Amino acid sequence: MGMTMTQKILAAKSGNTSVEAGQLILADLDLVLGNDITSPVAIKEFAKLGKGEVFDKDKVTMVMDHFVPNKDIKAAEQCKMCRDFCNDKQITHFFDVGQMGIEHALLPEKGLVTAGDCVIGADSHTCTYGALGAFSTGVGSTDMAAGMASGKAWFKVPAAIKFELTGKPGRYVSGKDVILHIIGMIGVDGALYRSMEFTGDGLCHLTMDDRLCISNMAIEAGAKNGIFEVDDITLEYLRLHGAKKPKIYKADEDAQYERVIKIDLSELGPTVAFPHLPGNTKTFADIGEIRIDQVVIGSCTNGRLSDLRTAADILRGRKCAKGVRVIIIPATQQIYLEAMEQGLLKVFIEAGAVVSTPTCGPCLGGYMGILAAGERAVATTNRNFVGRMGHPDSEVYLASPAVAAASAVAGKLADPREL
């Protein structure tokens, strides 16, 4: 019986010639990731194991990005624990203030993940790296601790759903609109513990930033992972970012899928997820006047340079609506630098927005953009649960950078095609 992309990677990493859905395997890991919130728990559990060193100091990474620069004493103590651990264990890839970025934008940028890798991270959006043709998934902090100690992790091999993408997206339709459309179609549990595997001739019209966004939000459909077929766009990205040699796994012709879903990208339009679920999606044909108080453009989903360029193209020569707070967060220091060199920061500031150092802060209701009761935000983040960005009586509308920027100008949810 044939195997999917994910199953082939898991077979190779577990030393099996083949695996099938539901099988339990112990797989070798190429990277173990933690951040300033999840790593401290893992560090405490690691100490209980009595291991003196991590399995490979080059294959463990910690990124200080959620409450960094530190927002309070507790955040500072958590970062200090991570910093001390990484210094003691001589961890090669530790990213702190000045070098850090939002983890799921930073690691691909640094070339730390390549096609064929098996990656776990104590953060649910670790599934982002499937855009590069890797198997990557989020785990708990105790699994992170075990991974740091042994270099291995247990998995139940997931069944798969195949998404055949055709056509070319229209203007202002990006990867964010694609994944919101999919989650709206199948639901937030529509791919529960499944591998979402993306293929089709429409891939050539999706940039790597689009793919990273789509894979990032596979978890919002309940998926174990999202993964894209490796093509020339993937290989060029890996080359430019100095990643190690890729190992390409392509699904067999007779691979078993629970469902095959065909999507014509040319038929999609700008899409918004209304409160309080990523699957509660609407297009502008069904959206009335929704006044807003805040816009956040950034996050591990949409804080990359192409996202900032899109927002700047809309904000250039315009002003943010009176009473609307607009926060722009480049996802990494390199993206921040390139945005500055290209004049994008000037566009944002002249429009009335503020620009932040890289941080996850507002996405999880940490800091840098907390909402009060009754306030509404349009955000390019990935979750809009009750209280996600602040008060339980606030509302978060998930959208692309184009929709977010247009809404910043209009003071309400706005279709960028109509500006």
Kindly report, residue by residue over 114-167, the tens digit of the pLDDT: 999 999 999 999 999 999 999 999 999 999 999 999 999 999 999 999 999 999
The tokens describing 371, both together, are 């909402």
Q: What is the mean pLDDT of the chain?
A: 97
Count Cα neighbours of 329 within 13 Å in the Cβ-side half-sphere. Answer: 29
Q: Report the C-alpha gap between 204 and 213 in whole angstroms.
A: 15
Helical (H) or strand (E) element with 406: helix 401-410
Helical (H) or strand (E) element with 61: strand 60-63
Average pLDDT over residues 239-256: 96
Average pLDDT over residues 67-79: 95
**In this predicted structure, what is the pLDDT of residue 419?**
86
3-state secondary structure 380-393: CCCCCCCCCCECCC
**In this predicted structure, what is the pLDDT of residue 319?**
97
Residue 83: is its pLDDT beyond 90? yes
Residue 248: is its pLDDT beyond 90? yes
Residue 63: is its pLDDT beyond 90? yes
Q: What is the pTM of this model?
A: 0.96
Average pLDDT over residues 374-380: 98
Average pLDDT over residues 215-234: 97
Where do the structural domains in the chain lie, given as residue ranges? 5-264, 273-418
Give the CATH architecture of domain 5-264.
Answer: 2-Layer Sandwich (3.30)
Cβ atoms of 277 and 187 closer than 8 Å: no
CATH topology for 273-418?
Aconitase; domain 3 (3.30.499)
The reply to whether 5-264 and 273-418 are identical in fold is yes
**In this predicted structure, what is the pLDDT of residue 99?**
93
pLDDT tens-place string over residues 389-401:
999 999 999 999 9
pLDDT tens-place string over residues 284-338:
999 999 999 999 999 999 999 999 999 999 999 999 999 999 999 999 999 999 9
**In this predicted structure, what is the pLDDT of residue 2?**
93
**In this predicted structure, what is the pLDDT of residue 196?**
98
Beta bridge partners of 255: 2
**In this predicted structure, what is the pLDDT of residue 292?**
98
Percentage of the chain exceeding pLDDT 90 = 99
pLDDT tens-place string over residues 31-46:
999 999 999 999 999 9
Residue 1: is its pLDDT beyond 90? no
**In this predicted structure, what is the pLDDT of residue 324?**
98
Beta bridge partners of 33: 61, 121
Phi, psi of 163 (to 5 degrees): -115, 110
